[in-house]
Amino acid sequence: MQRIPLTILCITLAACGEGGGGNSETTITPPEPDPPSPLVFLDSMPRNTTSNVAGYQARFDLVYHGEANANYDLRSTCEATTFTVLRNVVDLANQSGDQLVNHKFTCPEASTAAGQEISVNTTIANESFEGSITFDTVSDLPSLNVLQTREINTDDVDTMFSNYIAGALLDELDLPPLVEFVILTFIVDLVSSAWQNLASPNASSDVVAQQVEYSSVDPDGSATHNLSGLIAFPNTDDFISREQIILLTHATGSTPSLLEDSDAWYILANLFAAHGYLVIAPDNLGRGSTDDAPETYLLANRTGTNAIDFVLRVLQDDTYTPFYNDETITLNIIGYSQGGHSAVASWLELLRHHPNLQASAVYLGGAPFDLYRTFRGVLQAVNEECNGDGYCSLVDPATHVPFATDRILPGMIEFTDVGVFLDDIVDDEELDAGFVSGFLDASPDYDNLRSLLQLNSFTNIANAESVFNDPGTTLHLYHSEYDRLVPATNTDAFLEVLNGNVAIIHHSDECNSTSFRLIFEAIDKVGVVHTLCGLNMLDEVFAELR
């Protein structure tokens, strides 16, 4: 009888693994995960080689090739708010991702701390990647300095546009004598029918126009204090402050800060100022005070940053507070052609980085919203392979190639990592034949250039419902179907991506009248319809806002 408890005890111990030769459990330690691979940035603000970042600069960008539906872990030492813009990309040879990812960081306030860092960890094709930019900031304060002042009386303001039509406009069009005689007939008709407001502005006050320099950032993200621009305002004590400030983003070849009567955007600034508006018109970097550098031509993140920095410098200066209602102030942004592209960039800069400043309306037209396909269309025309492509069908290589060689490529190559030198692809102001064929045939040598052109396009945005979501803004679009310089297909494509995401008014009849069709049929000179449509748009905007 005494053996029974012993037997039970042995069974119990065996069940507990304490005796009888029981097996012990083996713990398997999983292998350490591979460290993330380095993430290579296509572009960034600041660049990863920049050290003296402006302490007053609180917005930054990281751009790289990624894929749809990826997850991102974004970090910053300044506890920034973040927003991501996704662009679908095409025609790349060696990129595994199908999107361009642009992370935008907005720090809550400026910093003068050393060792600032912004970083991202993401997964591409089931592989983990990590990248960061580290930089130091400098403690200098932003500034706004007046270099030159010009006072214009109402009589001179009233004749500015008429004098421009009689002189500078015809010089810009650069027409043969017989063609100039023909076009004058149409221009006289347009002055009396479509440009009445510009031709008879009925200025209500004298104007002060100032050439200024202001603090912003260079294309690499470093501090700069010599970007130039124009500020114009009414020269009278008898006015009611406006609830809008006007931001003008100039067209190709314009430099508003030079205060020249032959510059259409300088004239427009004076017309608005003569009706009580404070007008701000930045020069692109590469023009005015910085004309020794290549222009930031159609580089959206750069032009948008500089333009809004100019607005901020003006709002920070008490000199200009009498000219607007500080409690309800909004922006009206106006741009045409290159300036239309800059106007979109400036509007998106407000949306992403300056939520306390609202655009009430954006007026834009004749712009290369799809910069990649517009550029590619020129190369297709050079290679004589348009095949009905709307971005190519009206291209005249003799006119369009210089826009590529002299304007688009120099700044993009100078300020971003394109992977080629200008001399490699431009030969005596002509595009190198090997470059043209390689670009069109998706040679990997030009992947970065194709990517950067798509980065500076607005028609390929994949998360448009988030990017363009702005209930407080209305976009007004203008473009002539007879435009030989910038294909109207750009605006058609932009309307598709905007549709339903922001309020839009498409002024489709404004530049497609019988007069414009007759000009198109009578004159094959590139740029004529483009320029005249721009003046139609500006007349309508001036009539609405004055």
Model confidence band, residue 112 (pLDDT cutoffs 50, 70, 90): low
3-state secondary structure 177-211: HHHHHHHHHHHHHHHHHCCHHHHCCCCCCCEEEEE
pLDDT in tens, 55-65: 888 899 999 99
Q: What is the pLDDT of residue 316?
A: 94
Mean pLDDT for all residues in the chain: 90
Q: Tell whether 32 is covered by a domain.
A: no
What distance in Å separates the CA atoms of residue 493 and residue 21, rounded to the nearest whole number? 77
Helix (H, G, I), strand (E, B) or coil at 156: helix
- Residue 262 and residue 314 in one domain: yes
| Of 127 and 279, more confident | 279
User: Which residue, 138, 157, 174, sits at the end of a domain?
Assistant: 138
Segment 241-294, tens digit of pLDDT: 889 999 999 999 999 999 999 999 999 999 999 999 999 999 999 999 999 999
Q: Which is nearest to 324 in space by CA: 333, 335, 315?
A: 315
Same domain flag for 256 and 377: no
For residue 119, is it within any domain?
Answer: yes
% of residues, the chain, pLDDT over 70: 94
Per-residue pLDDT at 6: 36
As a whole number, mean pLDDT of residues 152-178 equals 87
pLDDT band at 458 (very low <50, low <70, confident <90, very high): very high
CB 163 within 8 A of CB 271: no
Q: Is residue 391 part of a domain?
A: yes
Structural domain boundaries enclosing 421:
371-455
pLDDT at position 250: 98
Distance CA 340, CA 538 (A): 12
Determine contact, residues 384/354, Cβ cutoff 8 Å.
no
- Domain check: are 259 and 313 in the same one? yes
**Is the model's pLDDT at 11 over the cut of 50?**
no
Q: Are residues 264 and 397 in the same domain?
A: no
Looking at the fold, whether 389 and 449 belong to one and the same domain comes out as: yes
Report if residue 241 sits inside a domain: yes
Both structure tokens of 5: 């408890």
Q: What is the mean pLDDT of residues 93-119?
A: 84
Mark out the alpha helices in 63-148 (DSSP H runs).
none
Half-sphere exposure of 132 (CA within 13 A, CB side): 14
For residue 345, is pLDDT > 90?
yes
Same domain flag for 497 and 433: no
When divided into structural domains, the chain yields a total of 3
State the helix-helix crossing angle for 371-382 and 447-455, rounded to 10 degrees. Answer: 130
Examine the fold and report which residue of 94, 120, 138 is the final residue of a domain before the chain moves on. 138
State pLDDT tens for residues 179-220.
777 777 778 778 878 899 999 999 999 999 999 999 999 999
CATH of residue 98's domain is: 2.60.40.10
Domain-embedded: residue 231: yes
**Amino acid, res. 447:** D
- Say yes or no: 179 and 304 in one domain: yes
> In CATH, what number is assigned to the domain containing residue 504?
3.40.50.1820
Q: In 3-state terms, what secondary structure has residue 165?
A: helix
Write down the residue that tokens 């009430």 correspond to. Answer: 360
Beta bridge partners of 101: 64, 86
Angle between helix 177-193 and helix 528-545 axes, rounded to 10 deg: 20
Q: Which of 246, 249, 350 is nearest to 298 (CA)?
A: 249
User: Rounded to an integer, what distance in angstroms lies between the CA atom of residue 293 and that of residue 217?
Assistant: 14
pLDDT at residue 29 is higher than 90: no
419 part of a folded domain: yes
Asked whether residue 17 carries a pLDDT value surpassing 60, the answer given is no
Answer whether residue 280 is part of any domain: yes
Do 312 and 384 share a domain, yes or no?
no
pLDDT at 436 over 50: yes
| Shared domain check, 422 and 345 | no
Residue 326 has pLDDT above 90, yes or no: no
Domain boundary (119, 138, 157) is at 138
Give residue 111's pLDDT.
64
Q: Are residues 384 and 363 in the same domain?
A: no
The pLDDT tens digits for 466-519 are 999 999 999 999 999 999 999 999 999 999 999 889 999 999 999 999 889 988
Using alpha carbons, list the distances in angstroms from residue 208 to 91, 259, 426: 50, 11, 43
The reply to whether 314 and 451 lie within a common domain is no
Q: Are residues 274 and 345 in the same domain?
A: yes
Assess if residue 74 is contained within a domain. yes
